[in-house]
Amino acid sequence: MAPVTSLSDSVEQRLASALSATLPEAAGSDPLLRRSDRADFQANGILALAKKAKANPRELATQVVANVTTGDVIGEIEVSGPGFLNVTITDRAITENLAARYADEARLGVPHAAQAGTTVIDYAQPNVAKEMHVGHLRSAVIGDAMVQILEFTGESVVRRHHIGDWGTQFGMLIQYLDEHPHELDHKESQVSGEEAMSNLDRLYKSARKLFDADEEFKTRARRRVVDLQAGDPHTLATWQKFVDESKIYFFSVFEKLDMEIRDEDIVGESGYNDMLAETCRLLEESGVAVRSEGALCVFFEDVKGPDGNPVPLIVQKSDGGYGYAATDLSAIRDRVFNIKASSLIYVVDARQSLHFKMVFETARRAGWLNEDVKAHQLAFGTVLGKDGKPFKTREGETVKLVDLLDEAVGRATAVVREKAEKVGLTEPEIVENGRYVGIGAVKYADLSTSAVRDYKFDLDQMVSLNGDTSVYLQYAYARIQSILRKAGETRPAAHPELELAPAERALGLHLDQFAETVSEVAAAYEPHKLAAYLYQLASHLTTFYDQCHVLSADNPPEVVENRLFLVDLTARTLHLGMALLGIRTPGKL
């Protein structure tokens, strides 16, 4: 179906025509329309136009009003204050607009982007042979939401999980496994993620203990690093066992997070090894990087250390080894020239902002990034405990991600179970909904906060039915499904001829903003604005319930049908909006 023109766009078009008719030189000017508590919309653009034309703004506003066509979309328009325009939409226009969105069941009138491109999103970056902790949560959740949102708006999205699968630490692990070859053998054909992590943890501790105690083993382990970097087949095969075992664990954690992570999207640090030497050569030959004390460096005028001396981006160390910069720059080359990306998004901790600022600037100087290909770090803040300090266990250790997710699901299941008998949930439904509510609570708490800000992890608040939580939104959706079931054979239907109550108008006008919100979120990479929209939608729904009874026997049939139509469209919007954030909406709760 064709996208639905929003009411705000319809009003803007009519105001723009009236402005042009009143003041020809104002053709194409923005009327600066916004939602208002004084009317449905307020236009503030006339003040600036009047100043430019040296006209009285209130008189100009009065002339514009005289040229506005009313009756179809605009019901009333009046001049307010020094020259603002207060605009009220007709009830018919609201209902007809919503009916068009309702008919577009898959997209609810949300358009595809006019100029879609290819975006590579780098997110969810765990490390091989290491436990995922709470610090990995935000990259995964924010990145997955942006994948869903961009794909929905028509962008071609390539997912990349830049896992830490390379480095000197693997020499120790590979050598230990070579000397204890059955440590990662599986007695059964399949192991769980928990078992895989237990195997890796046990092997790492044993290898570390031997490495610290035995100088000969330490020497052998260091030689294996050289073998690994040289591409020795046997060493690579042993290294691959660690990667494969880690993936079993990774996939189990992402499954808990209700997230799809595909094997072909995992391209770790090792994936760019063959490009590192050429990346350095290209940077050095072009003069972007220079040798300094034997290392290949890129310098920046605005990046200085405490001593006032420039702090370089080291692409190649003086001993010939490569650092993160070489890998990240090689990844940019791959994504730009092989994948043909037009946008690169890195969902990475804000504490790495300086590194990425220097990497992106280096890539720009090399000509790999330009006006046609842009890179953006979607930086995120730290997960804090209730005390406002970085989230740790009582022993001061970093919280394991699986422990946190299991606790969230446990808390949520208890909340679901309290209401289970009332809504007729079976035990399997309680378990399933507990998972959806618990994981949704964790995701929403993260996504409802601006990514760059730190946020407090408070499970008690997250699984609350009150306040800005995913449970509140999920409950709103489930409540609508209950009403639709109770309606029986009475079906939702739009009746544009009906006069709308204030709560119906407010709900309808907010529903109309869904498409604009999704487009803005996709353009600015700000999923928290979609979360805010959905919370406001659920709040409007609560007011609507209080003021407008849906299935009351006192209502004429057309009023019942129209209100069922309004709540059903609200449910569809909640369902789609939450899905774009990676959160499920159970039909019973």
- Considering the chain, what is the average pLDDT of its residues? 93
Q: What is the pLDDT of residue 137?
A: 93
Alpha-helical (H) ranges within 398-469 are 401-423, 427-447, 459-462
- Does residue 135 surpass a pLDDT of 90? no
| Phi and psi at residue 74, to the nearest 5° | -85, 120
> How is the beta sheet containing 374-377 ordered, strand by strand?
156-160, 118-122, 343-346, 374-377
> How is the beta sheet containing 290-292 ordered, strand by strand?
290-292, 295-298, 313-316
- Whether 526 contacts 450, CB under 8 Å: yes
Q: What is the pLDDT of residue 377?
A: 98
Element at 475 (helix H, strand E):
helix 470-486
| Residue closest to 133 by CA, chosen among 348, 388, 405 | 405
- Does residue 2 surpass a pLDDT of 90? no
pLDDT band at 50 (very low <50, low <70, confident <90, very high): confident
pTM here? 0.94
Q: What angle do CA 140, 141, 143 make, to 5 degrees?
A: 65
CA-CA distance, 555 to 211, in Å (whole number)? 79
Q: What is the pLDDT of residue 8?
A: 95
Over residues 273-289, the pLDDT tens digits come to: 999 999 999 999 999 99
Question: How many CB atoms within 10 Å of residue 358?
Answer: 20
Over residues 386-431, the pLDDT tens digits come to: 888 888 766 677 788 999 999 999 999 999 999 898 999 999 999 9
Q: What is the pLDDT of residue 511?
A: 98
pLDDT band at 187 (very low <50, low <70, confident <90, very high): low
Over residues 245-262, mean pLDDT: 95
Over residues 459-499, the pLDDT tens digits come to: 888 888 788 999 999 999 999 999 999 999 999 999 999 99
Length of the chain: 589
470-486 helix and 401-423 helix, angle to the nearest 10 degrees:
30
Q: What is the pLDDT of residue 53?
A: 85
Question: How many CB atoms within 10 Å of residue 14?
Answer: 20
Question: If 0-12 CB within 10 Å is exposed, 13-18 middle and 19+ buried, where does residue 375 land?
Answer: buried
Reduced to 3 states, what is the DSSP secondary structure of residue 213?
Answer: helix
| Phi and psi at residue 572, to the nearest 5° | -60, -40
- Whether 378 contacts 451, CB under 8 Å: yes
Position 275, amino acid: M
Here the tokens at position 324 are: 């993160």
- Does residue 65 surpass a pLDDT of 70? yes
Q: What is the pLDDT of residue 564?
A: 98
| Residue closest to 240 by CA, chosen among 334, 182, 173 | 173
Q: What is the pLDDT of residue 395?
A: 66
Over residues 426-447, mean pLDDT: 96
Question: If 0-12 CB within 10 Å is exposed, 13-18 middle and 19+ buried, where does residue 78 land?
Answer: middle
Percent of the chain with pLDDT over 70: 99
| Residue closest to 16 by CA, chosen among 48, 37, 46 | 46
Q: Measured in Å, how far apart are the chain's first and last C-alpha atoms?
A: 33
CA 235 to chain centre: 38
Q: What is the pLDDT of residue 394?
A: 65
Least confident of 22-26, 86-90, 348-352, 512-516: 22-26
